[in-house]
């Protein structure tokens, strides 16, 4: 029998799939595209950004896994002992190895209080930014796309909001909320606090999105969508919105740090989170009463944790702003 009469060898389907480029996993293709992107290259080339990302990851990890990582539960009143109150850090002569960073006036472990306090501060900050982004982007899209009296009305509201300090507006909203719900539970108190912070931050998103929308609405793809009869709401959601989210992402990253500082300020003034769930600002306020009596660790460590979180987030926001700016590439 000659070679011409031999049957052709048909490769198995699995072998064909393995030899074709389409068999590559979508996750592998995504990671390859990420590795080749200019944003990732900019991240790898900046040591300061890498350090900020590691610090932010550490703080977020401690806050997220606080129930499992914290050596003590600072909210468990049955486990607290007033005999352990105001203990200095473990490396001092009067410190104990059980309490690495010391204890506060109620005998709560500072390390555990920092983890749980950061959890509350980050939760309030991120939730308020999400509400601010939703409200600001919606109103900015509406003002920029519709224009006319709607644009003028929304922008005048923004001007009024910008004429007052953000902390004063937050104090006013928080005070009104507490007056309306004097016997509110902790969940309602958290909601009032988040609402107070979010209503002071939506203006920046509205003005930013409005300016970008004024540019995008006159471009050819938007005009073509109007000609074919696409509904205005669909044009704003499907065509204009994806092209104005770049500056919003950068602004939201920077606003997380600002929201955390605002929450810490309100808690330091005594109008923030409930005393039963102390955040970093509450811990600083508690330690401030003992700062001049020698118990410096009650204030210094929560303040250092707050600075680490805010500074790392702001550095990441600055890097993201430069990385997404086409003029700097």
d(C-alpha 76, C-alpha 140), whole Å: 45
Task: Write out pLDDT tens, residues 90-144.
Answer: 998 888 888 898 888 888 899 999 999 999 999 999 999 999 999 999 999 999 9
DSSP structure string for 240-288 = IGGGSHHHHHHHHHHHHHHHHHHHHHHHHTT-SS-TTS--HHHHHHHHH
Could you tell me what percentage of the chain is helix, strand and coil, using 3-state DSSP and rounding each to the nearest 5? Answer: 75, 0, 25
At 109 the three-state DSSP class reads strand
Whole-angstrom distance, CA of residue 204 vs CA of residue 133: 9
Structural element, H or E, at residue 301? helix 297-323
What pLDDT sits at residue 32?
73
d(CA 144, CA 102): 54
Residue 19 C-beta-side C-alpha neighbours within 13 Å: 6
CA distance 150 to 231: 18
List domains and CATH numbers for the chain.
122-328 (1.10.3720.10)
Cα separation, 218 vs 227, whole angstroms: 13
Instruction: Kindly give the residue spans of alpha helices, DSSP state H, lying in 163-244.
Output: 166-180, 186-198, 202-216, 220-227, 232-235
Spatial separation of the C-alpha atoms in residues 97 and 72, rounded to whole Å:
13
What per-residue confidence (pLDDT) applies to 218?
Answer: 86
At 31 the pLDDT is 66
C-beta separation of 273 from 193 below 8 A: yes
User: What is residue 7's predicted lDDT score, i.e. its pLDDT?
Assistant: 54
pLDDT at 185: 61
Q: Is 7 exposed, middle or buried (0-12, 13-18, 19+ CB in 10 A)?
A: exposed
Tell me how far apart the alpha carbons of residues 70 and 74 are, in angstroms, rounded to a whole number.
Answer: 9
What residues contact residue 275 under an 8 Å CB cut-off, 6+ apart? 282
State whether the Cα torsion 90-92-96-99 is positive or negative.
negative
pLDDT in tens, the chain (329 residues): 554 554 555 555 545 444 444 556 776 776 677 666 777 778 888 899 999 999 999 999 999 999 999 888 887 777 777 888 888 899 988 888 888 988 888 888 999 999 999 999 999 999 999 999 999 999 999 999 998 899 999 999 999 988 888 788 888 887 777 777 776 666 677 888 888 889 888 999 999 999 999 988 888 888 888 888 888 888 888 888 888 888 898 899 989 999 999 989 888 888 877 777 778 888 888 888 888 888 888 999 999 999 999 999 999 988 888 887 766 55
Closest CA to 141 of 208, 228, 45, 187: 208
Non-local (6+) Cβ contacts of 38 within 8 A are 323, 329
Measured distance CA(114)–CA(120) in Å, rounded = 10
């Amino acid at each position: 029998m000659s070679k011409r009469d031999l049957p052709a060898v048909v490769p198995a389907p699995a072998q064909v799939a393995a030899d074709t480029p389409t068999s590559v996993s979508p996750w592998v293709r995504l990671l390859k595209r990420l590795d080749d992107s200019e944003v990732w290259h900019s991240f790898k080339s900046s040591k300061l950004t890498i350090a900020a990302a590691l610090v932010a990851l550490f703080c977020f990890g401690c806050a997220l896994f606080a129930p499992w990582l914290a050596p003590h539960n600072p909210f468990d009143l049955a486990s607290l002992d007033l005999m352990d109150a105001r203990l200095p850090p473990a490396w001092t002569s009067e410190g104990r190895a059980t309490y690495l960073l010391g204890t506060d006036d109620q005998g709560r472990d500072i390390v555990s209080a920092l983890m749980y306090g950061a959890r509350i501060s980050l939760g309030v900050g991120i939730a308020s930014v999400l509400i601010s982004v939703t409200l600001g982007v919606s109103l900015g899209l509406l003002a920029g796309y519709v224009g006319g009296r709607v644009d003028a009305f929304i922008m005048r509201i923004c001007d009024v909001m910008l004429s007052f300090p953000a902390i004063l507006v937050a104090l006013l909203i928080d005070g009104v909320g507490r007056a309306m719900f004097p016997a509110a539970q902790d969940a309602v108190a958290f909601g009032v606090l988040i609402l107070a912070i979010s209503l002071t931050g939506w203006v920046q998103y509205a003005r930013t999105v409005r300016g970008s929308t004024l540019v995008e609405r006159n471009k050819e793809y938007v005009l073509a969508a109007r000609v074919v009869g696409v509904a205005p709401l669909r044009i704003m959601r499907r065509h204009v919105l994806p092209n104005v989210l770049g500056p919003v992402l950068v602004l939201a990253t920077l606003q997380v740090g600002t929201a955390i500082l605002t929450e810490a300020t309100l808690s330091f003034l005594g109008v923030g989170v409930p005393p039963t769930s102390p955040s970093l600002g509450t811990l600083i306020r508690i330690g401030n009463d003992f700062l001049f009596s020698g118990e410096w660790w009650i204030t210094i460590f929560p303040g250092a944790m707050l600075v680490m979180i805010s500074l790392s987030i702001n550095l990441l926001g600055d890097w993201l702003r430069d990385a997404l700016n086409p003029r700097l590439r």
